């Protein structure tokens, strides 16, 4: 009897998910004569037993499609919102795995998905994962699919902002995705030649940003482009967050209350405020563009299709070899299975001494530090 493999996509959608589903599915079907069933909308669909047979017809013509043909959700097996409550639905998911006589479950997703997959692995399921995220913050892999496409879109946005910024002698602030990791803003900022790059890893001093812009202005460059990650924070906010971190577990009522107030103060993603501050400090007109979901939508780049296909087909080989409990990571031109336990609970942020940061500083990019 053919082996049956389940597959699901979970977390925010990313370009390259369909290329990965196709890579896993075609290799399992064609090379190893296995069957593949997809679960709709991530772990939610697996819990509700909503399936879609992935035969060769279903896997055909999806390589270039954005989004995910399976749908996705951010639901976790152990904390699923049901009738207004968070319920642990792990047992139901494990039951459905058994009902379908699955030999393995492939989970495609970012950091949260790796954690959920690891949780199911600990329940005894044969789990294998692929790294997907436009944020590029999954650890233990050189890169995740989705990043290259988002990088291209974000870079094009920086390029396009140049001509309008130049014409109006304005500061144009571009907010890019990346709540905890700045890879996207850093990569697009460098590739597009942004004058200022602000990322969560380097808290910024708005006065230093304003000074850098004024230096440009005095040297005859009447415009500046600021690429800011949605999670970038000022030095003041970073200091407040440090206090919040300290007080979080405090038993003293007063300190707890202080923490709540400060959490509200420190909500990141406040690029509008940044644009206003820069206008006030420099006297130059300033405008904000939030690129938002355009960064995740549409057809995957050639690089992401290639990466997703490489990882997907390698995943099928590992399933055939009976190697589970791993994430299929990209390493150079090859792939490497890495233990899920080494992936979960970590995030790949930009190291402060990373080559990209050094390169950007060498071409006079300001990081606000």
**Rounded Cα–Cα distance for residues 365 and 214 (Å):** 14
Q: Which stretch binds ligand F6P (CB under 6 A): 36-44, 50-58, 127-135, 317-325?
A: 127-135
For residue 34, the SS3 value is coil
| CB 227, CB 175: distance < 8 Å | no
Token match 């393995």: residue? 104
**Rounded Cα–Cα distance for residues 36 and 332 (Å):** 29
Please identify which of the residues 13, 75, 135, 137 carries the catalytic annotation. 135
Q: Find the binder of ligand F6P among 27, 89, 134, 190 (CB under 6 A).
A: 134
Q: Which stretch binds ligand F6P (CB under 6 A): 87-95, 159-167, 177-185, 284-292?
A: 177-185
- If the CB atoms of residues 293 and 352 are measured against ligand F6P, the closer one turns out to be 293
Q: Which residues ranging from 60 to 79 are in contact with ligand F6P (CB under 6 A)?
A: 74
Q: Find the residue with minimal CB distance to ligand F6P.
A: 177
**Shortest distance in whole angstroms from residue 12 CB to ligand F6P:** 4
**Shortest distance in whole angstroms from residue 159 CB to ligand F6P:** 21
Q: Find the binder of ligand F6P among 177, 228, 330, 335 (CB under 6 A).
A: 177
Q: What phi and psi values does residue 180 have, to the nearest 5 degrees?
A: -120, -15
**Rounded Cα–Cα distance for residues 332 and 354 (Å):** 18
Give the burial class of 156: count Cβ atoms within 10 A of its Cβ; 0-12 exposed, 13-18 middle, 19 or more buried: middle
Q: Which residues on neighbouring strands pair with residue 79, listed in sequence order?
A: 76
Max CA separation in the chain (angstroms): 75
Binding of residue 110 to ligand F6P (CB under 6 A): yes
Q: Which stretch binds ligand F6P (CB under 6 A): 93-101, 115-123, 173-181, 273-281?
A: 173-181
Binding of residue 154 to ligand F6P (CB under 6 A): no
| CB 358, CB 197: distance < 8 Å | no
- If the CB atoms of residues 125 and 197 are measured against ligand F6P, the closer one turns out to be 197
Q: Which stretch binds ligand F6P (CB under 6 A): 75-83, 151-159, 176-184, 341-349?
A: 176-184
| CB 223, CB 171: distance < 8 Å | yes
Binding of residue 135 to ligand F6P (CB under 6 A): yes
**Rounded Cα–Cα distance for residues 256 and 313 (Å):** 50
**Shortest distance in whole angstroms from residue 289 CB to ligand F6P:** 16
Does residue 137 carry a catalytic annotation?
no
**Rounded Cα–Cα distance for residues 165 and 3 (Å):** 58
Q: Which stretch binds ligand F6P (CB under 6 A): 119-127, 174-182, 199-207, 316-324?
A: 174-182
**71 closest CA partner among 48, 49, 41, 44:** 41
Q: Find the binder of ligand F6P among 18, 72, 116, 133 (CB under 6 A).
A: 133
Q: Find the binder of ligand F6P among 178, 187, 203, 312 (CB under 6 A).
A: 178
**Rounded Cα–Cα distance for residues 286 and 281 (Å):** 11
Neighbours of 84 (CB within 10 A): 5
**Rounded Cα–Cα distance for residues 49 and 335 (Å):** 32
**Rounded Cα–Cα distance for residues 66 and 59 (Å):** 14
Containing 216, the helix (H) or strand (E) segment is helix 206-218
Q: Find the binder of ligand F6P among 64, 179, 276, 277 (CB under 6 A).
A: 179
- If the CB atoms of residues 75 and 135 are measured against ligand F6P, the closer one turns out to be 135
**Rounded Cα–Cα distance for residues 166 and 30 (Å):** 54
**Shortest distance in whole angstroms from residue 247 CB to ligand F6P:** 25
Q: How many residues does the chain have?
A: 369
**Shortest distance in whole angstroms from residue 294 CB to ligand F6P:** 11
Q: Which x/- pattern over 78-107 shows residues binding ligand F6P (rule: CB under 6 A)?
A: ------------------------------
Q: Find the binder of ligand F6P among 40, 44, 76, 296 (CB under 6 A).
A: 296
Q: Which stretch binds ligand F6P (CB under 6 A): 56-64, 172-180, 210-218, 276-284?
A: 172-180
| CB 203, CB 238: distance < 8 Å | yes
| Residues annotated catalytic, as ranges | 135
Question: In the complex, which residues of this chain contact ligand F6P (CB under 6 A)?
Answer: 12, 74, 110, 133-135, 177-179, 230, 296
């Amino acid at each position: 009897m053919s082996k049956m493999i389940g597959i699901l996509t979970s977390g925010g959608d990313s370009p390259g998910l369909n290329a990965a589903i196709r890579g896993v599915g075609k290799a399992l079907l064609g090379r190893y004569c296995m069957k593949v069933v997809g679960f709709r909308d991530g772990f939610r669909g697996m819990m509700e037993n909503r399936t879609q047979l992935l035969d060769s017809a279903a896997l055909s013509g999806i390589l270039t499609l954005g989004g995910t043909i399976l749908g996705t959700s951010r639901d976790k097996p152990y904390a699923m919102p049901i009738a207004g409550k968070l319920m642990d639905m792990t047992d139901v998911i494990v039951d459905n795995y058994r009902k379908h006589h699955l030999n393995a479950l492939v989970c495609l997703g970012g950091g949260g998905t790796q954690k959920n997959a690891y949780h199911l692995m600990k329940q005894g399921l044969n789990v294998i994962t692929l790294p997907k995220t436009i944020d590029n913050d999954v650890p233990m892999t050189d890169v995740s699919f989705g990043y290259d496409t988002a990088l291209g879109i974000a870079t094009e946005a920086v390029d396009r902002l140049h001509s309008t910024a130049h014409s109006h002698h304005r500061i144009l602030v571009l907010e890019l995705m990346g709540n905890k990791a700045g890879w996207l803003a850093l990569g697009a900022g460098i590739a597009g030649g942004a004058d200022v790059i602000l990322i969560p890893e380097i808290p910024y001093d708005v006065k230093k940003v304003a000074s850098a812009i004024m230096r440009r202005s005095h040297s005859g460059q009447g415009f500046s482009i600021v690429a800011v990650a949605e999670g970038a924070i000022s030095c003041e906010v970073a200091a407040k967050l440090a206090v919040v971190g300290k007080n979080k577990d405090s038993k003293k009522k007063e300190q707890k209350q202080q923490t709540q107030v400060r959490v509200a103060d420190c909500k990141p993603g406040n690029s509008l405020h940044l644009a206003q501050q820069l206008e006030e400090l420099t006297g130059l007109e300033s405008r904000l563009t939030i690129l938002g979901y355009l960064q995740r939508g549409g057809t995957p780049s050639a690089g992401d299709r290639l990466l997703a296909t490489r990882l997907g087909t390698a995943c099928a080989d590992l399933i055939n070899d009976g190697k589970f409990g791993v994430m299929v990571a990209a390493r150079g031109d090859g792939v490497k299975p890495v233990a899920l336990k080494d992936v979960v609970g970590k995030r790949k942020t930009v190291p402060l001494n990373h080559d990209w940061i050094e390169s950007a500083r060498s071409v006079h990019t300001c990081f606000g530090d």
